[in-house]
Structure 1
Amino acid sequence: MRKIIIAGNWKMYKTQEETLEFVQAFKSKIEDTDEARKVILCAPFTALGVLSKGLHGSRIELGAQNVHWADEGAYTGEIAAPMLAEIGVSYVIIGHSERRQYFGETDETVNLRLKAAQRHGLTPILCVGESKAQRDAGETENIIINQLKKDLVDVDQNNLVIAYEPIWAIGTGDTCEALEANRVIGLIRAQLTNPNVTIQYGGSVKPDNIDEIMAQPEIDGALVGGASLDPTSFARIVNYQ
């Protein structure tokens, strides 16, 4: 059975004080939401501790934005899966296009991070997607299929979420048309051995387009960037019709 998962990716925003303010405003706005919809907040590492305490007793789950493939070691600036699990993290974003573009992530390192997360009971949210140049060249399908082939080697698809994030739609205000997002997500699903993997759409998801996005039969949720920073906007997305 496919699960509906709405996740907020805060990226490099929010201090600990701002995190607590958000939680206080947000929790009350989703109390009546269908509990079958999972809600996750993926915060910067410095906010995870206070967020874990602030979410205690609520239905909102805690997510991180990256994880290293080693359990420990001389990897300055990285974070290990046991460290995340210890403070109550359940989900972790892996392979986001910003990590691939700015920090040298490759399909090989993405694969190692996916397996490390799963070893310690974390559910990875694997991000895949094409650039504007790749889409314009008609390479969308090949790019995504190749990403999946390399990223998912020896990965347990029973403990996995995938987010289709067209790079050209992230933070640009340009949203992939809902029907096209549905088509690509159907293509992704066809590559999987487990058809019940939750597949989200991400890329300029907003309160005014979430209803259309979630009406698509192949789309099981959303990975939300900028709109997840505001408690009212993110609550509207979680409370989609």
Structure 2
Amino acid sequence: MGFHMKKLIVGNWKMNGDLASNAALLQTLMPKITSATCTVAVCVAAPYLASVQALLSGSAMQWGAQDVSQHEVGAYTGEVSAAMLRDFSARYVIVGHSERRQYHGETDVHVALKAQRALAAGITPIVCVGETLAERELGQTEEIVKRQLAAVIHANGHCISEIVVAYEPVWAIGTGKTASPEQAQHVHAVLRAQLRAASAHADKVHILYGGSMNAANAQQLLAQADIDGGLVGGASLKTADFLSIIAAAS
């Protein structure tokens, strides 16, 4: 990690929230987050982008979306394009989250195209990679995450230094299991080496850990050399927990 690179903490709200509780959560968080803390963003369900933009504009917090279409425009009912996300000043978009790979059949190719659409619209894609428990037990962790990242590198070439990568072991998402700091650092180092081979600016890429990061384990995880922040699920909906993760990253 670059010595002066601020850590990045991104809350992934998943399919949670409503207008009132979103506003209450953000109004509690906003005064606590300044330019002095780490960089903080929340990725919200698409219908709430307008209200979150209105709430957070002018604050130190950033916002983003949880998915984007691989298509630019057209007859894709129900899809949301990168240009639409840009209309609401989304700074980030999560692509290839394991839940989308698992439930929506997204392949490495889809994820690479989505990252490409985001970059073309000036939005930073948070590219998720990670192995299942079965894959880890077969010793395939490195092979899986390298294959997933390679597709994105292949499609995006020299723009690759503009992405964020999130390593989320599928077996540690919402299960309460967490990779040990050493296990996580090992995979982050593999991803960093892969990025370095593709770009001279790889050290400015944030590689986040996602997979049950919480108030109790954040400090140890964030102390690792190649862990530049976190993609936080459940804990991002609890003010105290999210703030303690942000404090650990600041």
> Is the shorter-chain TM-score for this pair beyond 0.5, marking a shared fold?
yes
TM-superposed CA distance for 1:122, in Å, is: 0.3
Q: Is the contact made by 2:207 and 2:227 (CA closer than 8 Å) also made in structure 1?
A: yes
Runs of 4+ off more than 6 Å: none
The residue that corresponds to 1:30 in the other structure is: 33
Q: In the alignment, which residue of structure 2 is the partner of 1:201?
A: 209
1:231 counterpart residue number: 239
Structure 1 unmatched runs, 5+ = none
Q: Which runs of 5+ in 2 are unaligned?
A: none
Residue 98 (str. 1) matches residue 106 (str. 2): no
SS for the counterpart of 2:125 is strand
Query: Of 179, 183, 191, which aligns to 1:180?
Result: 183
Q: Structure 1 counterpart of 2:89, which letter?
A: G
* Corresponding residue of 1:215: 223
Answer yes or no: is the 8 Å Cα contact 1:29–1:232 preserved in 2.
no
Q: Residue 239 of structure 1: SS of its match in structure 2?
A: helix
Aligned-residue sequence identity (percent) comes to 43
- What is the rounded CA distance, in whole Å, between the counterparts of 1:19 and 1:131 in structure 2? 31
Post-superposition shift, 1:71?
A: 2.0
In the alignment, the residues of structure 2 paired with residue 41 and residue 234 of structure 1 have an alpha-carbon distance, to the nearest angstrom, of: 11
Tell me the TM-score normalised to structure 2 length: 0.92
CA drift of 1:151 comes to: 2.6
- Structure 2 CA distance, aligned partners of 1:159 and 1:97? 21
Asked if residue 17 in structure 1 is aligned to residue 25 in structure 2, the reply is no
What is the CA distance between 1:3 and its match in structure 2?
4.3
Contact 2:113 2:155 (C-alpha < 8 Å) held by counterparts: no
Q: Name the CA distance, whole Å, in 1 between partners of 2:224 and 2:161.
A: 23
| Number of matched pairs | 239
Partner Cα separation in structure 2 for residue 210 and residue 142 of structure 1: 26
Structure 1 residue 159: Cα displacement: 1.0
Cα distance, 1:170 vs structure 2: 0.3
CA–CA distance in 1 between the matches of 2:130 and 2:153? 15
Instruction: Give the corresponding residue for 1:167.
Output: 170
**Structure whose residues are more often helix by fraction:** 2
Q: Deviations over 1:38-67 (max 9, x none)?
A: 101000011111001100111100110000
Counterpart CA distance in 1 for 2:151 and 2:32 is 40
Q: Aligned partners of 1:3, 1:235: CA distance in 2, in Å?
A: 16
